[in-house]
Amino acid sequence: MFNARMVKDLEAEMERIGVTSEGIEIMANKGEFYKIRIDDVPLKGAIILKQEALAAGMECALPWCTASLSCEKTPAILFGTRRQFEILVSKMKRQPFKGAIIAEELEKCIGNMNKNHEISLPSGVLSLEPYKIMGILNVTPDSFSDGGKYNRVDAAVERAHEMVEEGADIIDVGGESSRPFSEPVSEEEELKRVLPVLEELEGINVPISIDTYKPKVAEEALKRGASIVNDIYGLRSDGMAEVVREYDAAVVIMHMKGRPKDMQLNPNYSDVVSEISSFFNERVEFARRHGIDDKKIILDPGIGFGKRVEDNLMLIKSLEGFKCGGYPLLVGVSRKSYIGKVLNADVNNRLIGTVVSNAIALLNGAKIFRVHDVMENAQALKIANEIRGAFA
């Protein structure tokens, strides 16, 4: 018996049993299976989509309102092989009622599923293959996990170098706690915390990220060598997009419902994956309108930021659904409260939950892992990646 998780595993197994290279090329895309949801399909377009999907040998799931002709727009779920999607796309390009737009969205989504990711930084291109580890450096007195440990400049700098030795590919410096129910700090105080550390890190040999939603803090950090803005507000602060563009920085656009001080007051979603997908689409368009290049955009679903336990678990399970847009995904699960609630563990006993979550996130498409415990996560991710590529 044999079960291929990835198409490259199928190709390797076909080669192993003696299938010709020509045969492998013909058959591989028939073993690549996708499930794709499209929203806001016009009713008449949905009926055509269903007909063309069936003609291609695949399926298109539609709600009852399309049969009863009682809705103007509808979601649709398509599932089939890569080859079947290719046939469907070619047919839909010639159809009315948004057919060409649907075809374009499907073609883009399929093309992005196995995309190799890289981000453009002022210093050059940073490949994200197979993944990158972002080490957390909180220079705060009150962060939920390590507040106060590194709020002296010498201790922070020592920890940054230690994390690089342990396997960190990026260092993320933050001067304001975003733990649930935390109060914001002033711009002046945040600058006072982060700038001395950044100035001492200018010679470090990995990219520096600044964890802030304040444009002035981002600007001063970028002047001192940071090249990534990790923005929990997702470019919603006035002027932040302009700062990112002006300094040619990369940006992490994170989803958060509410603000840190109120985000965990009864958060609720009817469909957490769909809602965050819509948020990402809107924010990416905003970034592009403000001159931020696609190769500078990273998306973060915001694990623990205005989410229930079940929302966090569903997001990790469903990360692959965010790959359609073609942007790399960052996850920050490290020591988060959902782990504590599932395991009944305090913040100092969440390491195993963290590394398991990150290993699963890797298999589901995440590219950047923001962590406190660099060495342990580096080891877990290396093992997970070696297992993933065992057939290749």
Burial class of residue 181 (count of CB atoms within 10 Å of its CB; 0-12, 13-18, 19+):
exposed
Report the length, in residues, of the chain: 392
Integer Cα distance of 190 and 149 in angstroms = 16
Q: Is-catalytic flag, 323?
A: no
- CA-based diameter of the chain, in Å? 68
73-81 vs 59-61, strand pairing mode:
antiparallel
- Retrieve residue 25's tokens: 């090329």
Integer Cα distance of 156 and 174 in angstroms = 11
> Among residues 50, 224, 336, 350, which one is catalytic?
336
> Torsion-angle region of residue 3: left (phi > 0), alpha (psi -120 to 50) or beta?
beta
In the chain, which residue ranges form alpha helices assigned H by DSSP? 7-16, 21-28, 43-55, 64-67, 82-92, 99-112, 153-166, 187-200, 215-223, 240-246, 272-289, 309-317, 337-343, 351-363, 374-388
Q: What is the CA radius of gyration of the chain?
A: 22
Q: Is-catalytic flag, 259?
A: no
> Among residues 91, 132, 224, 370, which one is catalytic?
370
CA nearest neighbour of 74 among 102, 55, 113: 102
- Retrieve residue 200's tokens: 């001492």
Q: Which residues are catalytic?
A: 336, 370
